[in-house]
Structure 1
């Protein structure tokens, strides 16, 4: 999944373009993280980690299947999409970020 496909997929879930964009940040490197929900941090060889922030503005690497996520940019977009899709299925009355 590339960026355009991510936006289209999130749109199908009810997110606006701005709402979908606000969920991610494509960092230049580990020093370029911001207070977005998901920072895609390049680790070399075309691989990325996903770093998230908590309520105290600390950054943590995302884990999947009890292992820290390390994958392609496409896999990072897909992971975020799948997490949101699954959460929305479990919470059908939840309001999407459509602003």
Structure 2
């Protein structure tokens, strides 16, 4: 799922275009100065791979995980799909 497909899919869930776009920040690395309080921070992990960092309730950030607690790592398209599935409750 690319960015445009993500926004269109999120609008079906009731998000506005800007609301869907505001969920995600693409950061150069995982240093806290590059991360934001947006719901999802996509961080480059080399070789066209990304990790997703989430802001914690009490400061700091943690990696989003898939089944069995394995941290997410995948393409940018996979990251958009992961966020969509999370918000859609899939």
TM-score, normalising length: structure 1: 0.82
Q: Give the drift of 1:86.
A: 1.4
Residue number in structure 1 paired with 2:2:
2
User: Greater CA radius of gyration, 1 or 2?
Assistant: 1
Unaligned runs of 5+ in 1: 88-99
Residue number in structure 2 paired with 1:19:
19
Greater RCO, 1 or 2 (C-alpha within 8 Å, sep 6+): 1
Q: Deviations over 1:21-71 (max 9, x none)?
A: 121111122232111111000000000000001222210001101211000
SS of structure 2 residue aligned to 1:74: helix
Unaligned runs of 5+ in 2: none
Tell me the C-alpha RMSD between the 2 structures. Answer: 1.2
What pairs up with 1:1-99 in 2 under 5 angstroms?
Answer: 1-31=1-31, 32-66=34-68, 67-86=70-89
Contact map agreement 1:35 1:57 (CA 8 A) in 2: no
Aligned residue pairs total: 87
